[in-house]
Structure 1
Amino acid sequence: MDETPKTKLSGRALKPGMCNKCKVETPSIIVKRAEFCRSCFLDSVGHRFRGNLSKSSIPEGSKLMVAFSGGPSSRALLQTMNDYCRVDPENSRKKRKFPEFCVCYVDQSSILDSHASDASKITAIVNSYQRELFIVSLEVVFEEHAPALLKTHIGVDDTISASSSFNIELEKNAKKVDSRLLVQQMFGTLSSMTSKEDLLHYLTLHTLVREAKAQGCAGILLGDTATSVAINVISNTCKGRGLSLPADIMDSEWYQDVHILRPMRDILSKEIGIFNRLSKLETVAHSSLTTFMAPKASISRLSQDFIVGLEKEFPATVSTVARTAFKIQTNHLSKKQCPLCEGPVDSTDNFASIDSSAETPGYPCKPICETKPSFECCSDDKTTTACCAQNVNKNEQVNVYPLLCYACRNIAHDFPKQKTTQSPSPNQHDVPLPAYIAHNSFRRLSQNELRNQISDFLIEDDNSVSY
């Protein structure tokens, strides 16, 4: 009885010059002061991936979609997911929880010229795995519906704050314009690199979710690592997205039809690089909006510079930041949806610091439900009896600003505005925006209107979900 604890303790003891895990092979990799041989390191990465994926609440047998950009993280994600779905030759009867997946690549060449030749490289990599690939251009956000217009030149009363407006208008009879040009025009009006990065991220995620729904996928796999999670924790907190941290860094059920999974959230970017090198995986080198720029170019770029520097000197600290952030719990699932980023929105009473006044922002829209409300009111193009559908068919203006989250209000401030009561100059043009922003706004306004109509018949519940 006395020898059992000693035997277990001696089995766990580290042997100098040997792999910390198998204690047989000579170590060749050092990560966070731990030494591993090649085989044990690769097994460690795969084990953490499978462990995180198995924790998902998605029903067994569901189809998943891998968000693939060709970078180091998504490249390792594609490899580990393919290994996960591969049939074990020693146990062919063993079935995986998710046996099927497809790959989606969002082409951002309309904003980043360096991505123009990436599609062919992406296709070659995915074809080597014999998986279904969907290449979707970023400008598809303008092809879902007729584009909305941000009214940059509207007569304003002197008592109204021009900075508290984000008036957009749906034009059903608008002339057909190249969607690629609309994307470039929209990003060209933004002066802040932080706003450009955030808007690009929101549009990319919206495109992925839209494509996943179209292909019948129950979840999207993202290649977020522990390093990128730590970067997002710092940057999102600085931008005022603390409420949505659980949805931005962990497995999320925020999108009811599509789950967002991050199975590599426990793996450092350094480990990803080592994994790709040992597995001889070819990656697609591409630049971002802030590549070769100074660290102060944007909040995300500055956060990245800080975390990467911290990881070089104190690698265990980055993992600690990520693990601590995973414990954060907010009531984001009970919040309403931001029309722009489609994330949770905190109470507008907390946004007085970003507005020039604490009063309700100006440019109130016309009552969205001027006719008798209908329970099928959803502002869908196919709806003909709903009050919202009637208003959408007109050139209806709506002030989206009161509906935006704190971070998206910063983006709204970055769009050009002109406070004047005179007619606009010939060179003054409205900014094109994806129509889904307007449709999300109409939907929220109609839901609020309907809730007000039946408020006397509702039973208050502190745990109820707000829509």
Structure 2
Amino acid sequence: MCQVDEDYHDQLERAAVPSVSKKCVKCKEATAAVVIRAGDTYCRGCFEEYFIHKFRAMLGKNRIIFPAEKVLLAVSGGPSSCSMLSQVQEGLSQNAHKKLRFLPGIVYIDEGGAVGQTVEERQRAVAELQDVFKATGFPFHIVPLEQVLDLPSSVLVTGPSASERPASAYKAAVDHFIQSDSSSCLTPPEQKATSIPDVQESHTKLLQQLIGSAKTLTAREDLLNTLRQHLLVHTARAEGYSKLMLGHNCTRLAVKLLTNVSLGRGAQLAQDTGFSDSRYGDIILVRPMRDYSAKEIAYYNHMFNVPSVFIPSLETKTTEKASIQRLTEGFVTRLQADFPSTVSTIYRTSEKLQTACKSSSAADLCDRCLLCMCALDSAVESASAFNMTLISEELSRTKSQGATYAELQSQKPGLSEPESTAPNGECCSSGGGEDCGRAESGGSCCSSAKETETPNLKSLLCYSCKLTVKDMSSVDRLPLYILSEAQRRQRRSQMREEISEFLLDDGDDGD
């Protein structure tokens, strides 16, 4: 038993805690002002130099952005994307040591309609961001999320990607850029007076109905992320940008990696967390902030007065168990507090991941998911666990109708519903005109296909997107460009099956 009057308490030693009074680990002269990790203490000047150098090194190491190329910066108003904007602005300044050589532009997606903000709150947030954007001198575009309802179907088509250039091409392009009049090439276009776009109330209601059709917060966040990415890619194509720069930091990518594994997106981890993502072909997504932790970004923004605007999202003020994304974030954050190497370990694991899929230029469009545009991971053998899961779901759903396993097998491929015939044996042309000809051959009338305009999306989605769509109350609430592209792909697939006898296999020589 412990006694109150024992003397052992004088012998206890306090654990050593890193103090900011230590000297800077780089210059070893100035007093440290910030502690990034245990033992990594920097003074104000060295920390700024370290932060800037990491951003330049990330772009220089990958050599994806060529000189005089147009790059669109996706700024959400958060600390990470605003810090990315500050780094680009500093890299293009006159006193920069190694100046950046691309032409930047800014895009902001206003998601206030999906979150439920009032018109006044949305206008106040947009006005604050406008002041930040105008201070940079870059051209900027403010796009409400409601515009996703009017997108063309071409946004779901992989654009023609530029041919892969050898490593020597980047150095040659830089040398040519330096020898030419580089100052005139990097002159940003005049900033146009952009007004806050007007949004119709009917469009806002349709968007809220679309997001609200998802029953769980997990599906809502995943659907919102997909729609946002479609709108960003469309804006980049419409404005003539070839690169889209995102502000995802190391902490967010670590959370996203574990979240994607939980959501069944393991096959897309390399594209969702890597430095570059070329799933759209002509538009390459770039993540230059992936080496920064959220702690480093918060310190830098506070010390050097980088402005940011807080804008609520779907998960604002929600509990930790409200969604898989929120639960994973809380798990990683708590683990990082006790074990400081957690985020870096997960992040280094993501660096080693590579996709085994075809490149965006060679992959067939029908082999890509309709929503996330990644390679389909549902084309598996009939004896796989995934296929058995689909059969089990179909058996559970049709148990009340007395369907058997043999009947489900006869409905393959795709486990889709059997085609319905025209009512009372009538043909589509019974009201007048010629017969369609399908009723005489024993098939169903073509009017049965016209009655059900909603396409079956099962065969067009990856496993994770299937779960998201399955969680929606009605597929009809999806934007028109998604439904029309689904119908086009299904018609193309049906036509391919009809002429499959006359097509040559990949292994045939053609003689």
* TM-score normalised according to structure 2 size: 0.68
Kept after mapping to 2: 8 A contact 1:63/1:217 = yes
Q: Answer whether contact 1:401 1:412 (CA < 8 A) is retained.
A: no
1:264 correspondence with 2:289: yes
**Offset at residue 435 of structure 1 (A):** 1.9
The structure, 1 or 2, with the larger RCO (C-alpha pairs under 8 Å, 6+ apart) is 1
Q: Deviations over 1:223-265 (max 9, x none)?
A: 1011001000110000000111111111111110100000010
**Could you tell me how far apart the structure 2 residues matched to 1:326 and 1:239 are?**
20
Q: Does 1:282 align with 2:307?
A: yes
Instruction: Give distance in 2, aligned partners of 1:345 and 1:130.
Output: 42
Within 5 Å, give how 1:293-332 maps onto structure 2: 293-332=318-357
Q: Give, in angstroms, the shift of residue 221 of structure 1.
A: 0.8
**Structure 2 unaligned regions, length at least 5:** 1-20, 154-199, 395-408, 421-448
Please say if residues 23 and 31 of structure 2, whose CA atoms lie closer than 8 Å, have aligned partners that are also in contact: yes
Aligned to 2:113: 110
**Cα distance 1:395–1:122, how it changes in 2: closer, same or farther (>3 A)?**
farther
Q: How much has 1:145 moved relative to structure 2?
A: 5.2
Q: Within 5 Å, which residues of 2 pair with 1:66-465? A: 66-88=73-95, 96-98=100-102, 100-114=103-117, 116=122, 117-144=124-151, 178-250=202-274, 251-333=276-358, 336-349=367-380, 351-352=386-387, 354-355=389-390, 356-357=393-394, 359=412, 360-363=414-417, 396-416=453-473, 431-445=476-490, 448-449=493-494, 453=499, 456-460=503-507
The residue aligned with 1:156 is none
Alpha-carbon shift at residue 443 of structure 1 (Å): 4.4
CA separation in 1, counterparts of 2:253 and 2:146?
Answer: 27
Q: 1:338 corresponds to which letter in structure 2? A: C
Where in structure 1 are there 5+ consecutive unaligned residues?
1-15, 147-175, 367-391, 418-429, 462-467
Residue 26 of structure 1 aligns to a residue whose secondary structure is: coil
Partner deviation per Cα, 1:179-215 (whole Å, 9 max, x = no partner): 2221111122221000000011010111101000111
Corresponding residue for residue 22 of structure 1: 27
> Which runs of at least 4 in structure 1 moved beyond 6 Å after TM superposition?
392-395
1:95/1:50 Cα in 2 relative to 1: closer, same or farther (>3 Å)? Answer: closer
Structure 1 61/393 Cα, relative in aligned 2: closer, same or farther at 3 Å? farther
Residue 82 (structure 2) pairs with residue 62 (structure 1): no
- Secondary structure in structure 2 of the residue aligned to 1:296: coil
Shift in CA distance, 403/35, structure 1 to aligned 2, threshold 3 Å? same
Structure 2 residue identity aligned to 1:26: T
RMSD across aligned C-alpha pairs, in angstroms?
Answer: 2.7
| Number of the residue aligned with 1:172 | none
Q: Distance in 2 between matches of 1:365 and 1:208?
A: 38
Greater share of strand: 1
Q: CA 1:263/1:394 → structure 2, altered by over 3 Å: closer, same or farther?
A: farther
Higher-helix-fraction structure: 2
TM-score of the superposed pair, with normalisation by structure 1: 0.74
Give the paired residue count: 376
8 A contact 1:295–1:302 mirrored in 2: yes
* Cα displacement (A) at 1:96: 3.0
Change (3 A) 1:333 1:297: farther
Percent identity over paired residues: 31
Q: CA offset at residue 306 of structure 1?
A: 0.9
